[in-house]
Amino acid sequence: MAGILVYSENSKNAHELLTAATIIGSALGLEVRALSINNDTQAEDLAERCGEVYRIKEDSLKLSDTSAMASILDQVVRKLNISVVLLSSNRRGKELAGRVAQILDSGCLTDVYGIEVRDDGNIDCFRNGLGGLTVVSQVIDTEKKVIAIVPKIFEAMGNKITGVIRDVEVDVRSSGVNVVRTKTKVRDAVDIETSDIIVAVGQGLANKDDLPQVEKLAQLLEGEVACTKPVATDRQWLSEERIIGLSGKKCKPNLAILLGISGQVQFTVGIRDAKTIIAVNTDENANVKHISDYMLVADIKDIIPELIEKIS
């Protein structure tokens, strides 16, 4: 029987992919298989969640070598008669997806945040179109399909079975990429996606010294501080985990307060599912007004202290 293959170097993501794979697999009659590369713990964890786990142990195979990794996936896909490859749409996964798809001469979709299997066997994949302006549903028409799914969309598969682990022999073709050093990013454990109230700041916040005020406001409202991409990546005032939008997180809070944010589509796509949106902006024509329930045209430098005072 043909199969559906799950792979991510990130075990949590892989467990989520197993849930997605089970949905697709049972609708299309595909057997779910998981792949684990140079990670025995992961292979064992996967075997508690998936009937068949394929394990590769090859010291010369490096995650950082996307070319070599893609070639391995191709080999496994052919060996196991796989028709659907599910990868994580994290950065490594997205990079891998396009290369695997090219080797397999297949269609590929990344950043997929919803899946529906149709009666005719098509897998409808939902993703952002036009930078987030639209929601697109797309179908891959090639025999083999590569789909990269956004983390945290599907529940992780629980451990409830005893699957088998089988070793697979592969031929490693290094492309000469070698890791010189790795540096752990400063982790920020915040989870803005599940926060009920969000206080988001944009480049309208002129001074880093005003950030504690924003944090104070969020604290008073029992919410989390989030931000637009440039605040985290260009200015590096807040961690990348706090970015809302196309290349950040998709949030559905009850209330979002947007401070000094212009409301460009790549940001808006991450907050438009909020129940209520309040914006404060000096420019009354800023795009953010189209996505707000309430807009206050004012300088956030004045507004934040006054607001803190009035709600304390």
Q: List contacts with ligand FAD (CB under 6 A).
A: 202-204, 206, 228-231, 243-248, 260-262, 264, 266-267, 280-283, 286, 299-301
Q: Which two tokens stand for residue 212?
A: 């504690």
Binding partner at 28 among ligand FAD, other proteins, none, C-beta below 5 to 8 Å by kind: none
Note the Cα 248 to chain centre separation in Å.
8
Q: Which residues are bridge partners to 199 per DSSP?
A: 225, 257
Nearer to ligand FAD, 57 or 98 (CB): 98
Q: How far apart are CA 279 and CA 59, in angstroms?
A: 53
**Binding other proteins by CB under 8 A: which of 35, 84, 85, 109?**
109
CA distances from 164 to 46, 49, 55, 255, 266 (A): 10, 10, 10, 47, 43
**Binding other proteins by CB under 8 A: which of 1, 29, 41, 91?**
91
Part in contact with other proteins (CB under 8 A); list of ranges 15-23, 47-55, 138-146, 207-215: 138-146
Q: How far apart are CA 291 and CA 136, in angstroms?
A: 20
250 contacts other proteins (rule: CB under 8 A) = no
Q: Specify whether the CB–CB gap between 265 and 133 falls below 8 A.
A: yes
Part in contact with other proteins (CB under 8 A); list of ranges 30-38, 39-47, 202-210, 275-283: 275-283
Nearer to ligand FAD, 3 or 245 (CB): 245
Binding partner at 301 among ligand FAD, other proteins, none, C-beta below 5 to 8 Å by kind: ligand FAD
Q: What is the DSSP letter of 243?
A: B
Q: How far apart are CA 61 and CA 52, in angstroms?
A: 22
195 contacts other proteins (rule: CB under 8 A) = no
55 contacts other proteins (rule: CB under 8 A) = no
Binding partner at 67 among other proteins, ligand FAD, none, C-beta below 5 to 8 Å by kind: other proteins
Q: What is the DSSP letter of 280?
A: E
CA distances from 200 to 194, 205, 215 (A): 14, 10, 10
Q: How far apart are CA 278 and CA 288, in angstroms?
A: 9
Part in contact with other proteins (CB under 8 A); list of ranges 44-52, 158-166, 204-212, 227-235: 227-235
Coil, strand or helix at 34: strand
161 contacts other proteins (rule: CB under 8 A) = no
Q: Specify whether the CB–CB gap between 123 and 107 falls below 8 A.
A: no
Q: How far apart are CA 199 and CA 274, in angstroms?
A: 12
139 contacts other proteins (rule: CB under 8 A) = yes
36, 39, 44, 45 alpha-carbon torsion, rounded to 10°: -80
**Binding other proteins by CB under 8 A: which of 94, 152, 216, 252?**
94
User: Which residue's structure tokens are 């997180």?
Assistant: 249
265 contacts other proteins (rule: CB under 8 A) = yes
CB of residue 167 to other proteins, shortest distance in Å:
27
**Binding other proteins by CB under 8 A: which of 181, 207, 209, 212?**
181
CB of residue 95 to other proteins, shortest distance in Å:
4
191 contacts other proteins (rule: CB under 8 A) = no
CB of residue 113 to ligand FAD, shortest distance in Å:
14
193 contacts other proteins (rule: CB under 8 A) = no
Q: Which residues are bridge partners to 167 per DSSP?
A: 55
Q: Which residues are bridge partners to 52 per DSSP?
A: 33, 164
Nearer to ligand FAD, 32 or 280 (CB): 280
